[in-house]
Structure 1
Amino acid sequence: MTGWHWLALFGGILAAWAVLFAMALPAEMREAGMIYGAEFWESLCTVTPDAAGFLRVFLMWVLMSAAMMAPTALPAFATYEELSKTTSSGRFAHLVWGYLVVWIGFSVIAASVQMALFAADLVTTFGDSRSVLLSAFLLLVAGGYQFSTVKEACLSKCRAPMMFFMQHWDEGALRNGVRLGLVCLGCCWALMLLAFVGGVMNIAFMGLATVIMVLEKLPDIGRWVTRPLGFALIGGAVFVGVGAF
């Protein structure tokens, strides 16, 4: 992994995490003015029921998707470069852009869901669930999806990126990036929506979820992660749901 395109990719991932960290700083740090521009970060991650509020939430989901999902696709990006020794940085950028376009689309949906939940008073202004039943439902959906054939089919492609790219090589970098993004979306959308349970602006949750999704896509380790994680999530759903009564 050498070249300016890799430096740019890693720099973008680090920058996304840095911005998310700044947005997720504890309220007491914001109020005390312990960092420069604290008011800006506070306003950026505060939801208001208007177009400006939606735009802020959408931006937050774009950053979160880029920070969490790009690392899971690094083996696939490296495989694409290996398959074409003459791949230019421009084509590599098209691959990454096509991948991110899918997650930008997901961010529109996720932001819309968050705004709807906020309007229904089911999540806080920072996207954390106020409802035990909502949390249990999301955990149950994510846990059940771990056993689905769709999840397994998408994971099989993410775990064998060489075969995946060879099947669609003639379609070009951009379309291959979009295809890869759709496959990764099929793997991870339910886990990403658990942000409403773990906390949309919870750095610890985002870090843990990223590590889990990276491991799940590895060919040797991943098969030991998927189903146990499903059982754990379903168990969590039962535990949270029972606690509601």
Structure 2
Amino acid sequence: METMTRLFAGHRSLWLAFYGCVLAAWAALFAMQVREVPASLQVDGLAYLISLCRTTAADAGFRSALVMWALMALAMMAPTAFPAFRTFAQLSRTAGAGAAPLAALLGGYMLVWLGFSVVAALLQTRLAELGLITDLGQSVSAPLNGGLLLLAGAYQFSTLKEACLNACQSPMTFFFSHWQPGARGGAMLGLRLGAICLGCCWALMLLAFIAGTMNLAFMGLAMVLMTLEKLPAIGTRITAPLGVFLILTGAVALLLPLTNSIN
């Protein structure tokens, strides 16, 4: 009980709802990959989610792609920010506030990632129209693969990435610097925190077009990497090596087809 109290910092019902939504998003992403549904599970909601992946990425359209990217954002990005959410919960609880500021913070954070989902869905539908990705959102273009890998690798060494990552790794400092009381303040802090998190992770998220936007293994690995990057003791040790790895992999992705064509 004491461990649960330290972990959730009050507002247990809100935390349970939060993680319930995250688990539901993972379950929905898994269900969307199922091709044959048992008759006992053929309910409208599940059938709709599965139908999103039964057409090609081009035929699915923007709305279906948006649903998928929004689920990915909730499943992957919300858990990476849990240390910041917990820090805010502890601060607001000390200030005697109820659950409303925390709920507003969570809402503001996810609103930013919903905006990213809109952009990613537009990008996916355009790539599909150009024939650059498969039915499952996986790139078939060596230049696109290499370009995304080089972009993500180079961004690991950018000053913007460093600034955003420093803020994510020091949530207490971030909240003290930008504190605003009440639910409205929580929403504004959530938007700011979401923007900072987006600044850390957008390039890594776009690598889904290489692994496949419906690749659960990639989603899980990316979530773990982005979570570790936000931990001060670990993040400083993996950001640069990850950048080097992505740059080298991108160079190979670009040069290998040229080598094969020469041979």
Q: Into which bin does the TM-score normalised by the smaller protein fall? A: over 0.9
Q: Which of the numbers 17, 35, 40 marks the counterpart of 2:26?
A: 17
Question: How far did 1:47 drift?
Answer: 4.4
Partner of 1:216: 229
Distance 2:195 2:48 in 1: 33
Does residue 215 of structure 2 align to residue 202 of structure 1?
yes
Does residue 65 of structure 2 align to residue 65 of structure 1?
no
Partner of 1:151: 161
Q: Which of the numbers 130, 134, 151 marks the counterpart of 1:141?
A: 151
Question: How far did 1:87 drift?
Answer: 3.0
Distance 1:161 1:87 in 2: 19
Amino acid at match of 1:231: V
Amino acid at match of 2:233: D
Report if the CA contact (8 A) 1:140-1:234 is conserved.
Answer: yes
- Identical amino acids, percent of aligned pairs: 52
Instruction: Give the TM-score taking structure 1 as reference length.
Output: 0.93
Runs of 5+ unmatched residues, structure 1: none
Where do 1:1-245 residues align within 5 Å?
1=8, 2=10, 3-25=12-34, 30-31=35-36, 33-34=37-38, 36-37=41-42, 40-45=48-53, 46-47=55-56, 49=58, 53-85=61-93, 86-170=96-180, 172-245=185-258
Amino acid at match of 1:14: L
Amino acid at match of 2:249: G
Report if the CA contact (8 A) 2:229-2:239 is conserved.
Answer: yes
Report if the CA contact (8 A) 1:49-1:115 is conserved.
Answer: yes
Provide closer, same or farther for how the CA distance between residues 147 and 48 of structure 1 changes in structure 2, counting only shifts above 3 A: closer
Question: How far did 1:168 drift?
Answer: 1.2
State the secondary structure of the residue aligned to 2:154: helix
Amino acid at match of 1:20: L
Tell which structure's C-alpha radius of gyration is larger: 2
Distance 1:174 1:39 in 2: 34
Report if the CA contact (8 A) 2:57-2:134 is conserved.
Answer: no
Provide closer, same or farther for how the CA distance between residues 40 and 183 of structure 1 changes in structure 2, counting only shifts above 3 A: same
Per-residue CA shift, 1:78-115, capped at 9, x if unaligned? 00011122232222110000000000000000000001
Distance 1:34 1:225 in 2: 43
Runs of 5+ unmatched residues, structure 2: 1-7, 259-263
Amino acid at match of 2:220: G
Distance 2:252 2:57 in 1: 32
Question: How far did 1:6 drift?
Answer: 0.5
Distance 2:157 2:254 in 1: 21
Q: How many residues align?
A: 239
State the secondary structure of the residue aligned to 2:81: helix
Question: How far did 1:235 drift?
Answer: 1.1
